[in-house]
């Protein structure tokens, strides 16, 4: 078996072959040690031969660390592509919940040919940054449909703001409330949220009743469940077609995503 695997007088020559030798050595190590561990009633390699293989590979890696880095990068790229494939499959399988949940507020053209979906939290600074890009594209693209998914993950104040936002949607004032909250600077509490709701003209009696409704609670619960299925743990998370981006992007990036979805 490879002249009993190790001829130490030839190690230097083997190392000279670079990455090709590492592939051979790693393959031999995996296959030989697997055989040695199997219950086949016969020991393929003795302890000294196994150690010799390990020392040979260790010596090569120490002299050629870039090969190990390339291997790690290749592994990471394969993992990234696998996650990307699985995410696309989830986006297709969950398309109806993503695009057409009746409790979600819609902006732009309700009959548009491309939909941008955003998971948001009103205490999220990155959501405020993305709002500028999204608003600009809504004004620019008459065929753009936008779905907002309220995902309050940053505490009780976020929860209350999300409830008021959905109550505003029931009074056809969602975008007004959303815009006011996104343009607001500094922190907020329930009192400030209610003040903004009153400023944009919400029926406050109805709003106070609606924020405690089972309907709004169900919408928030569905959004949380969907976020969990899509591994959305932060905001903003932006979905366009079969792609999801986690974090704020500029208008150019968003426009490119919309164009790509429209071209399909």
Task: Give φ, ψ of 181 to 5 degrees.
Answer: -70, -40
pTM above 0.75, yes or no: no
Q: Is 173 in a helix, a strand, or coil?
A: coil
% of the chain beyond a pLDDT of 70: 81
The alpha-helical segments, DSSP class H, found in 1-146 are 11-15, 19-37, 47-63, 65-93, 95-100, 125-140
pLDDT in tens, 97-152: 999 999 999 999 999 999 999 999 999 999 999 999 999 999 999 999 999 999 99
> What is the arithmetic mean of pLDDT over 181-204?
96
Q: At what angle do helices 156-170 and 174-183 cross, to 10 degrees?
A: 150
pLDDT value of position 45: 64
pLDDT value of position 184: 94
Please state the domain extents for the chain. 8-63, 95-263
264 Cβ contact list (under 8 Å, min separation 6): 241
The confidence band for 3, taking pLDDT boundaries of 50, 70 and 90, is very low
Q: Are strands 243-246 and 106-108 parallel, antiparallel or unpaired?
A: unpaired
Whether 5 has a pLDDT exceeding 50, the answer reads no
Whether 219 has a pLDDT exceeding 90, the answer reads yes
pLDDT value of position 53: 76
User: What is the Cα Rg of the chain in Å?
Assistant: 28
pLDDT value of position 26: 54
The overall longest dimension of the chain from CA atoms, in Å, is 89
pLDDT value of position 13: 42
pLDDT value of position 58: 76
Residue with tokens 């190690």: 11
Question: From CA 76, how far away is CA 73, in angstroms rounded?
Answer: 5
Whether 180 has a pLDDT exceeding 50, the answer reads yes
Go through 130-165 and write b for each residue having 16 or more CB atoms within 10 A of its CB, e for each that does not: bbebbbebbeebeebbbbbbbbbbeeebbbbbbbbb
The confidence band for 31, taking pLDDT boundaries of 50, 70 and 90, is low
Whether 1 has a pLDDT exceeding 90, the answer reads no
pLDDT value of position 2: 41
Weakest mean pLDDT among 45-49, 109-113, 180-184, 256-260? 45-49
Question: Shortest CA distance to 8 belongs to which of 48, 61, 39, 62?
Answer: 48
173-177: list long-range contacts, CB under 8 Å, 24+ apart. 173/200, 173/201, 173/202, 174/105, 174/107, 174/148, 175/105, 175/107, 176/200, 176/201, 177/202
| Percentages (nearest 5) of helix, strand, coil residues in the chain | 65, 10, 30
Is the domain 95-263 a CATH 3.40.30.10 member?
Answer: yes
Mean pLDDT of the chain: 84
């Amino acid at each position: 078996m490879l002249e009993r695997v190790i001829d130490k007088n030839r190690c230097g020559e083997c190392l000279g072959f670079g990455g090709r030798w590492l592939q051979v050595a790693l393959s031999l190590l995996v296959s030989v040690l697997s055989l040695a561990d199997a219950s086949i009633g016969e020991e393929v390699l003795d302890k000294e031969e196994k150690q010799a293989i390990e020392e040979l590979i260790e010596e090569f890696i120490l002299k050629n660390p870039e090969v190990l880095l390339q291997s790690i990068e290749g592994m990471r790229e394969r993992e990234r592509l696998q996650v990307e494939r699985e995410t696309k499959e989830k986006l297709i399988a969950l398309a109806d919940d993503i695009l057409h949940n009746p409790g979600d507020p819609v902006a732009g053209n309700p009959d548009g040919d491309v939909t941008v979906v955003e998971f948001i939290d009103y205490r999220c600074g990155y959501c405020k940054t993305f709002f500028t890009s999204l608003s600009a594209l809504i004004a620019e693209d008459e065929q753009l449909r936008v779905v907002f998914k309220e995902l309050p993950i940053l505490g009780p104040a976020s929860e209350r703001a999300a409830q008021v936002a959905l109550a505003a949607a029931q009074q056809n004032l969602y975008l007004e409330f959303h815009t006011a909250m996104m343009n607001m600077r500094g922190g907020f509490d329930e009192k400030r949220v209610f003040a903004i709701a009153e400023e944009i003209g919400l029926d406050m009696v109805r709003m106070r009743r609606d924020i405690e409704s089972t309907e709004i609670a169900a919408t928030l619960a569905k959004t949380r469940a969907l976020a969990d299925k899509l591994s959305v743990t932060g905001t903003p998370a932006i979905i366009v077609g079969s792609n999801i981006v986690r974090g704020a992007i500029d208008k150019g990036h968003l426009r490119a995503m919309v164009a790509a979805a429209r071209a399909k």
